[in-house]
């Protein structure tokens, strides 16, 4: 929800939200629901107006907003269902920002950031989360790397030349990090050379098996949260 949340604040629902709340969930005037917008925490609200243009009114804060660890995901989109899965799991695992990138071997349908936002909201709702990641427009890989802020480590899942000792580096001081995951078929040799020569790059192997892109995202984010995030 785009509106700010606070005591007595009215929240206008979209037609889609109204249909779900009143047509699917069968809620009516006076019923209580929980709402969040990714900024102001979770709020107990009541239905003030039902129908195609429903309205809620915030009554009391149920949970305060808690900041996510500064973990970003940069990935090459794959087929739509698997891209949806990646976004869903990234939200569940506590990613603060998602950047889809075009690589030399990217082979996917048209990338729709608006669909990613919808998937992210649904994932947060279904998992009881309050945080929504920033989702960027799709850009070329080289531009995305150029735009990274100074000091952000790049955790590069490199199935070709990952060093065996890089897991130890994950146990170092915490800090901003971006997980970089390639497309089906991996990165090109030219892209691997460009990434691994960056000072911020940590080249990491996930073991003896080549993982699918969506599996690699889950494995990589799990490692980051365990060593650099809020699981420790």
The domains of the chain are located at 10-63, 71-227
Say if CB 78 and CB 53 are below 8 A apart.
no
| 151 pLDDT above the threshold of 80 | yes
pLDDT band of residue 160 (cuts 50, 70, 90) is: low
Pick the CATH number of 10-63 from 3.30.360.10, 2.60.40.10, 1.10.3720.10, 2.40.240.20: 2.40.240.20
- Superfamily classification of domain 71-227: SPOUT methyltransferase, trefoil knot domain (3.40.1280.10)
Average pLDDT over residues 86-107: 93
| 158 pLDDT above the threshold of 90 | no
pLDDT band of residue 217 (cuts 50, 70, 90) is: very high
| 166 pLDDT above the threshold of 70 | no
Q: Report which DSSP code applies to 69.
A: P
Beta pairing class for 177-181 and 153-157: parallel
Closest by alpha carbon to 224, among 167, 152, 182? 167
Closest by alpha carbon to 223, among 74, 163, 231? 231
Q: Report which DSSP code applies to 87.
A: H
- Tell me the residue length of the chain: 232
Average pLDDT over residues 218-222: 92
| 168 pLDDT above the threshold of 60 | no
**Low-confidence winner among 115-119, 206-210, 225-229 (lowest mean pLDDT):** 206-210
CB-based burial, 52-78: b 16+ in 10 Å, e otherwise: eebbbebeeeeeebeebbbbbbbbbbb
Residues 15-45: pLDDT tens digits? Answer: 888 998 898 889 999 999 999 888 899 999 9
Rounded to two decimals, the pTM is 0.85
Residues 182-213: pLDDT tens digits? Answer: 888 888 999 999 998 999 998 887 777 788 89
Average pLDDT over residues 75-79: 90
Distance from C-alpha of 62 to C-alpha of 60, rounded to nearest angstrom: 6
Average pLDDT over residues 86-98: 95
| 162 pLDDT above the threshold of 80 | no
| 173 pLDDT above the threshold of 60 | no
Quick check: do 10-63 and 71-227 share a fold?
Answer: no
Distance from C-alpha of 143 to C-alpha of 193, rounded to nearest angstrom: 16
Say if CB 141 and CB 191 are below 8 A apart.
yes
pLDDT band of residue 85 (cuts 50, 70, 90) is: very high
Mean pLDDT of the chain: 87
């Amino acid at each position: 929800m785009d509106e700010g949340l606070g005591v007595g604040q009215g929240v206008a629902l979209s037609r889609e939200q109204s249909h779900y709340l009143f047509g699917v969930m069968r809620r009516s005037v006076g019923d209580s629901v929980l709402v969040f917008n990714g900024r102001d925490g979770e709020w107990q609200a009541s239905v003030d107006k039902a129908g195609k243009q429903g309205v809620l009114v915030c009554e009391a804060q149920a949970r305060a907003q808690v900041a996510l660890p500064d973990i970003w995901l940069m990935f090459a989109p794959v087929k739509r269902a698997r891209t949806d899965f990646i976004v869903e799991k990234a939200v569940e695992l506590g990613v603060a920002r998602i950047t889809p990138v075009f690589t030399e071997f990217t082979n996917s349908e048209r990338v729709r950031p608006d669909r990613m936002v919808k998937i992210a909201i649904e994932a947060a709702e279904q998992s009881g989360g309050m945080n929504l990641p920033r989702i960027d427009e799709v850009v070329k890989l080289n531009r995305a790397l150029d735009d990274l802020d100074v000091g952000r480590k790049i955790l590069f899942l490199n199935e070709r030349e990952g060093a065996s000792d890089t897991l130890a580096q994950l146990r170092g001081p915490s800090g901003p990090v971006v997980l970089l995951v390639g497309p089906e078929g991996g990165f090109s040799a030219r892209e691997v050379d460009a990434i691994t020569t960056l000072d911020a790059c940590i080249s990491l192997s996930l073991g003896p098996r080549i993982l699918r892109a969506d599996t690699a995202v889950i494995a990589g984010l799990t490692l980051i949260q365990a060593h650099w995030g809020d699981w420790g």
